[in-house]
Structure 1
Amino acid sequence: MTETTLTTFPAHAPLAVQTRGDVVESVHFGSLAAVGPDGATLFSRGEPTARMYPRSALKPLMAVAMVRAGLRLPAEQLALAAASHSGSVDHQDTAAKILANAGLDEGFLRNSTDLPYGVAERAHWLAAGRGPTRLAQNCSGKHAALLATCVHNGWPLDSYLHTDHPLPRLVRDVVAELTGEDITAASTDGCGTEVFALSLTGMARAFSRLVTAAPGTPEHDVAAAMRAHPTMVAGPGRDVTALMQAVPGLLAKDGFEGIQLIALADGTAVALKISDGGDRARMPSAVPALLELGLDPEPLRPFNNLAVLGGGRPVGALRGLPY
């Protein structure tokens, strides 16, 4: 890594603030891009063209690549293929079904092991005396679908994470196509799959393409599955699931390190990153952008102006900065 890389940072801007009483206690910086159905930028903050890793927000694009390669799953299972699920029994059972229908079992998975991601799901899992597993890890649906895609095409199973394998090569090409960006840098995500450095503008355009795609296309199928089964995309109590349930036709996917992608039914889309990777400001930072795009404020109220407690009572709020 060069000295220039170490000392050159994206020009992030304030996206959200936390107040305690009359004092601004914390400021959350980041970047955001909002694009229209034609991909043109409507407004932005910070430096949305800077490259960043979308992390799990990349999963819906990976699912599109799998469907293009011939993967056929019921909508509930396809939603899990694009998910960062909470690790509930239902989530794990659905991932196991994807494997079983391809003649496989958990032993073929090559994702990292982990406890369930959801707070309640993790507590229940630990109370039962269970430890980390690959099926419980939040990316197991994606990995199960990757393996099923390999079975369908007769591709090797043990090397499906290698960058020279046919499936990761296809994923790379599809991501470049949907974002409209050349892939110039890549690394390895937490679960073991390849992740690409892309701009927020490019990711917003890709999500716009998912929701505006014609019926019967892989893009449409993935978006429709996620919107029809929002509890598979995350889980009960998760803000991404709740937002899709609150706003009909909305598509949402989060990613580690403060990433949020949202597309509206008309193809308008928002992509943002919280600069330090913190999660708490991710959804509050998105709400003012959605209001600027004309969404009804009422269903968005639970996702912004989050109470800050002092002595067990509200004394401040975490809220996104308006446009």
Structure 2
Amino acid sequence: MTLAKDTMPAHEAQAVTAPAEPKAAPNAAPNRDTRTPRHVPLVEQTRDGLVESVHYGSLIATGPGGETLITAGDPDAAFYPRSSLKPLQAVALVRAGLELPEDLLALTAASHSGAAMHRDGARRILALHGLTETALENSTDLPYGTIEREDWLRNGGTPTQLAQNCSGKHASMAAVCVINGWPVAGYLHPEHPLQLLVRDTITELTGEEAAAVSTDGCGTPLFAHTLHGMARAYGRLASAAAASEEGRVANAMRRYPEMVAGEGRDVTALMRAVPGLLAKDGFEGLQLIGLPDGTGIAVKISDGGDRARLPVTVRVLEALGLDDGALDALQSPPVLGGGKPVGVLRASNFLQTTFQSANHD
């Protein structure tokens, strides 16, 4: 089974001024310099027995109590979580009064493929709050999904804000401004009441203050956190009570995974394969997972190579006991030579290395 990889289109990030006096958190992200994080080999591609390429990265799995279960590389280095922040942003919107059907709440946390159901969903969110597409302030783009993009272009489509993969989130951000009487225009400014709420919510859920602030590809303020903090946040979302803001977002994503990504996307397949699993990807090789017992997993591939996300994620899930065959369909396709399998893309022995290092210490 070949699955399309879930990445966000690359855009140049533009620095913005960090909000003054950020809200305190139980743990602060370490005060790091700008050195390259201490990543380790996580994935290798072989061709007829030789290692052809290697992807480095870092990861962590945290338990229900926040304890570290598995770690590799440098999970306490600050990084930009990109679109893996969307479920946390969605929690902030629900706390600000956003009330939507579950399919549209899932779309709020989405990096969608740009199918008709996604574009129509964003329109529905806007219309429910008396808004039109003119309220959107995200960047324009073609649909992200390959099939969706080709169909869009065949019918004369051009880059639009609705087709851009973050349009559900932006429609809900504009809607929350209407709900609270905040200005809709300028809702992306880092000092807008909406973005201050989002920042504080992310700080709370990760348990750490942002180490840096920039701008994501769609124009939203982007906060740097650690893999450790992000894993904690996803464990919290996935295990939250159904009636809580966190639980409402998580349940919507799990019930409508096709709205979070799209048909044929690996994040959709992952949530369908493992009941109760919460999954979201992000550009530059990010994969976040939350399990119903409160376990959180965060993976970062250092070179941004998207193909390396799933082999690492599957290996970690199997190490945590999810090895009943549900993950078999998510294994990477074989490396081909002349149309025949001659190699594999596989997780390296980072688990063995991690356990050996722990025993040595």
Q: Is 1:303 matched up with 2:340?
A: no
Corresponding residue number in structure 1 for 2:113: 86
Give the Cα separation in 2 of the matches to 1:304 and 1:242.
11
Give the Cα separation in 1 of the matches to 2:96 and 2:113.
27
Q: Is 1:275 matched up with 2:285?
A: no
Give the Cα separation in 2 of the matches to 1:243 and 1:164.
36
Q: Which amino acid aligns with 1:136?
A: A
Structure 1: gaps of 5 or more residues: none
Shift of 1:305: 4.4
Give me the TM-score of the superposition, normalised by structure 1. 0.97
Give the Cα separation in 1 of the matches to 2:324 and 2:49.
24
Residue correspondences, number? 320
Pairing partner for 2:213 from 165, 177, 186: 186
Corresponding residue number in structure 2 for 1:57: 84
* Contact 2:86/2:110, CA 8 A, preserved across alignment: yes
Pairing partner for 1:150 from 171, 177, 180: 177
CA displacement 1:81-100 (0-9 Å, x = unmatched): 00000000010000100001
Give the Cα separation in 2 of the matches to 1:225 and 1:129.
33
Corresponding residue number in structure 1 for 2:100: 73
Q: Which amino acid aligns with 2:140?
A: T
Corresponding residue number in structure 2 for 1:241: 268
Give the Cα separation in 2 of the matches to 1:284 and 1:92.
31
* Contact 2:42/2:55, CA 8 A, preserved across alignment: yes
Aligned to 2:105, the other structure's residue is in SS state helix
Q: Is 1:45 matched up with 2:72?
A: yes
CA displacement 1:119-138 (0-9 Å, x = unmatched): 10001001111110000000
Corresponding residue number in structure 1 for 2:356: none
Aligned to 2:134, the other structure's residue is in SS state helix
Give the Cα separation in 2 of the matches to 1:24 and 1:283.
18
Taking a change above 3 Å as real, the CA distance of residues 37 and 150 of structure 1, as seen in their structure-2 partners, is same
* Contact 1:160/1:168, CA 8 A, preserved across alignment: yes
Aligned to 1:226, the other structure's residue is in SS state helix
Corresponding residue number in structure 2 for 1:254: 281
Aligned to 1:169, the other structure's residue is in SS state helix
CA displacement 1:19-78 (0-9 Å, x = unmatched): 111101011100000000111111100000000000000000000000000110110000
* Contact 1:304/1:320, CA 8 A, preserved across alignment: no
* Contact 2:239/2:291, CA 8 A, preserved across alignment: no
* Contact 1:288/1:321, CA 8 A, preserved across alignment: no
Give me the TM-score of the superposition, normalised by structure 2. 0.87
Pairing partner for 1:217 from 241, 244, 262: 244
CA displacement 1:5-27 (0-9 Å, x = unmatched): 56x21000111110111101011
Corresponding residue number in structure 2 for 1:314: 341
Q: Which amino acid aligns with 2:348?
A: L
Give the Cα separation in 2 of the matches to 1:220 and 1:189.
25
Q: Is 1:288 matched up with 2:315?
A: yes
Corresponding residue number in structure 1 for 2:255: 228
Give the Cα separation in 1 of the matches to 2:213 and 2:68.
25
Give the Cα separation in 1 of the matches to 2:257 and 2:75.
27
CA displacement 1:251-283 (0-9 Å, x = unmatched): 000000000001112111110100011111011
Percent pairwise identity: 61
CA displacement 1:152-197 (0-9 Å, x = unmatched): 0010001100011000000000000000001231100000001111
Q: Is 1:18 matched up with 2:81?
A: no
Corresponding residue number in structure 1 for 2:231: 204
Give the Cα separation in 2 of the matches to 1:54 and 1:287.
20
Give the Cα separation in 1 of the matches to 2:89 and 2:45.
35
* Contact 1:92/1:136, CA 8 A, preserved across alignment: yes
Give the Cα separation in 1 of the matches to 2:341 and 2:207.
45
Give the Cα separation in 1 of the matches to 2:82 and 2:332.
26
How is 1:124-143 mapped onto 2 (pairs within 5 angstroms)? Answer: 124-143=151-170
Pairing partner for 1:107 from 107, 125, 134: 134
Aligned to 2:329, the other structure's residue is in SS state helix
Corresponding residue number in structure 2 for 1:266: 293
Shift of 1:306: 2.6
Shift of 1:297: 4.5
Aligned to 2:123, the other structure's residue is in SS state helix
Pairing partner for 1:117 from 123, 144, 148: 144
Aligned to 1:298, the other structure's residue is in SS state coil
